[in-house]
Amino acid sequence: ELRPTDSGQVGFFADQVANWQWFRDRLAGAPAASAVLNLFAYTGGSTLAAAKAGASVTHVDASRPAVAWARRNAELSGLADAPIRWIVDDALKFVQREARRGAKYDGIILDPPKFGRGPKGEVWEVYKSLPNLLDECRKCLSDNPLFVIVTVYAVRASAIHVSQAVDEM
């Protein structure tokens, strides 16, 4: 479902299509029921691509309307019964709880905004918050992870800096 939002977005970022194919290929050769965590999951494009590839997906976004939109997209895509957990929460708080629970994921998708707010007013600033989030995500990686994919659209965040942060993770 595509529709204009107040911010000028339409619910889909075409540049993500290459990423969807990349991690679908990774999941295709993986054991059945690989677990994928999608943070800042928005309207669900990455969630649906991973679910279609056979993964069990945890979809996390701080926006209740975005999660509702993503659920609608799952229905429209014939994936209403796919193993997807729909979570409205602050990404960092959710990952910290998952780490305490011992949850493990074979793939992690992060597409954070430059700036945002969680459902309880938590502040997200990519330059300050991403390193801590990556550290917490590391605790949730399975012993043999398939992938971690991070896309950052912020002028001051160079690809080299983000790559090094993921490598350290």
Sign of CA dihedral 112, 107, 22, 52: negative
**Predicted confidence band of residue 153 (pLDDT cuts 50, 70, 90):** confident
* Contact between 98 and 66 (Cβ < 8 Å): no
φ/ψ bin of 148: left (φ > 0), alpha (ψ from -120 to 50), beta (otherwise) = beta
Q: What is the mean pLDDT of residues 114-135?
A: 82
Residue 80: what residue type? A
Which pLDDT tens digit goes with each residue over 65-121?
999 999 999 999 999 999 999 999 999 999 999 999 999 999 999 998 777 777 788
Cβ burial of 166 (10 Å; 0-12, 13-18, 19+) is middle
Amino acid identity of residue 112, one-letter, is: P
Structure tokens at 29: 């050769």
